[in-house]
Amino acid sequence: MPKREGKKMPGPLLTVCPRLRGYRKKDLLSDLLAGATVAVMLVPQAMAYASLAGLPPVVGLYASTIPLVIYALFGSSRHLAIGPVAIISMVVYTRSSLVAEPGTPEYINAVLLLCAMIGIIQVMMGLVRLGFLVNFLSHAVISGLTSAAAILIALSQLKHLLGISGTPHHSAFGLLADAARHMGDTRGVTLLLGLASIGALVVCKRRWPRFPASIVVVLAATLLVRTLRLDEAGVSIVGVVPGGLPRLTLPGGDIAMMRALLPAAFTIVLIGFVESISIAKVIAIKERYHVNPNRELGALGLANLATAFFSGYPVTGGFSRTAVNHQAGARTAIAALVTAALVLLTLLFFTPLFYYLPNTVLAAIVIVAVADLVDFKTAAKLFAIKRYSGASLLLTFAATLALGVEKGVLMGIIFSLLVFVWRSAHPHTAELGFVDPKLGFRNVKRYPDATTYPGIVILRVDASLYFANMAFLEELLRNAVHDKPGLRWILMDFSGVNDIDGCAVETLEQLFEAYHESGIDFALAGIKGPVRDVVERAGWRTLLGQRMSYATIEQALNDLDLPVSSHS
């Protein structure tokens, strides 16, 4: 038989940048301008973030080349600008410095191994479609984490800003204590240059947000140090920045090293994906196209695998650069290719220009970049809306400052899950009473004048019933019976119950029997189809008969000789 021909659907990781097919010439100029704008912003940021990660600045440039190309080919977002970001750099330094001394070949190898582990985890998660897991990291946890991490990152740059020596610390208290111990060694010229850079960056950011202030400050400070020979006055400089294309590397390490790096790998996968997918979705909604979370995971994984084998360090999508890419008019992934090409040109021809670049200026770039991550408005809003959301944010914020990024995000997730479990085990319930024919039955706490009926209590549960919340339901029924002497009927409104499990069915059956022996019977109203299917398989049709299939509360009351009209 001849083979049937048909259109074969591509897999999430095998579709190579469909937007490059049929590319419109009219988009080229916009993509070129956007790509160039991001490149001007990325070059100094990448060098600064690499220093934050305990790596030579050129590693940041390496991480801003091949990974961008890989993501452009496989990602689903047209605007996401990937590369080094501050929080990821902090996590890299925090964990890798426990494995090897920063700046040593062993340290660089540990970072490359971490990169490969991140890439493998992301690709596997994308293939098995685990992108939904990002939904378990709440906005409160993310806000608390990023705000605290921004403060940690800024504090970690104090040693460069002041021109003092320092030892690695992972908490705000440790960083502040270390800076205080060495405060007497502050180099005035270094501090003055750093503060001037911060001032220039802040002013430009507020007055001329599209002006490439970072690269201008870098070039101006470098020229100033070179002309006045401030390096001889104690200003620390970057020194030789190797030129040329990223070198092919092969990460190595034993099981012990992999085990030590694994917590950081999962932390970066989680934080990096949340950061990427959040901004990608926001812009995709504005531009009316779809972002596939699983494909994004796979594309980020391939980008991190690429950077592991080309001398870089972990990358993800950045909020600020993506926003700039969109505002600059990017239309397709071609803009990312333009950015990568310009960074490659910088590596090939312009690295000698960075020899006299002062480290205090890189610290200034990092501090100004992370300042916007501190978000007090979200904290105030969450506390006003839901206290437990505000508590999640505050706990994550405090834990991150005190214990570091990894433990902070872990505690935030655990607390959020505990809150979720507690809420599902304590669902909203209401005793109902009749208000009027228009409003029908409403919560008696919100409508104190609602009519209730002697000998019967009407209860509504607004949650699916399962093993974890049955103890709460038992307590609810016990209190209802205690508060209603002479009770004859318990009418349960199941209109808010979307699902029920076997344990809940069994517990309810036991309650039916126990209360029947006490002279109290149950009736059910508003059962939804999926729930009715479950309880009918459990034999409730025989157990309760007509009393389990009332469509409405009114129908149940009329059948139980308590017509609504007689009490309205």
Sorted by sequence, the CB contacts under 8 Å of residue 56 that are 6+ apart come out as: 50, 103, 241
Q: Give residue-wise pLDDT tens across range 5-43.
A: 444 444 444 444 555 566 777 888 999 999 999 999 899
- pLDDT of 567 higher than 50: no
Q: What is the largest CA-CA distance in the chain?
A: 98
Contact 507, 535 (CB under 8 A): no
Lowest mean pLDDT among 9-23, 375-389, 539-553: 9-23
pLDDT on residue 171? 85
Higher pLDDT, 5 or 203: 203
What lies within 8 Å, CB to CB, of 351 at 6+ separation is 58, 61, 241, 242, 243
Q: Would you say 553 and 432 are in contact if contact means Cβ atoms under 8 Å apart?
A: yes
Determine how many CB atoms are found less than 10 A away from the CB of residue 221. Answer: 25
What confidence tier does 139 reach under pLDDT thresholds 50, 70, 90?
confident
What does the pLDDT average to over 96-101?
92
What's the rounded mean pLDDT across residues 502-517?
Answer: 94
> What does the domain layout of the chain look like in residue ranges?
18-417, 427-566
User: What are the C-alpha distances in Å from 278 to residues 45, 135, 292?
Assistant: 21, 11, 12
| Cα dist from 10 to 7, 17, 349, whole Å | 9, 11, 40
**Phi (first) and psi of residue 456, to 5 degrees:** -145, 140
pLDDT at position 4? 45
Is the pLDDT at 510 greater than 50? The verdict is yes
* Model confidence at 548: pLDDT above 60: yes
pLDDT at 400: 92
HEC profile for 130-175?
A: CHHHHHHCCHHHHHHHHHHHHHHHHHHCHHHHHCCCCCCCCCHHHH
CA dist list (Å): 148 to 141, 398, 409: 11, 7, 10
Rounded CA gap, 428 and 444, in Å? 14
To the nearest whole number, what is the mean pLDDT of the chain?
Answer: 89
pLDDT over 90 for what percent of the chain? 62
pLDDT digit string, tens, across residues 286-307: 888 999 999 999 999 999 999 9
Choices 3.40.220.10, 3.30.750.24, 3.20.20.70, 3.30.460.20: CATH for 427-566: 3.30.750.24
pLDDT in tens, 48-62: 999 999 999 999 999
pLDDT band at 344 (very low <50, low <70, confident <90, very high): very high
Q: What residue type is assigned to position 33 of the chain?
A: L
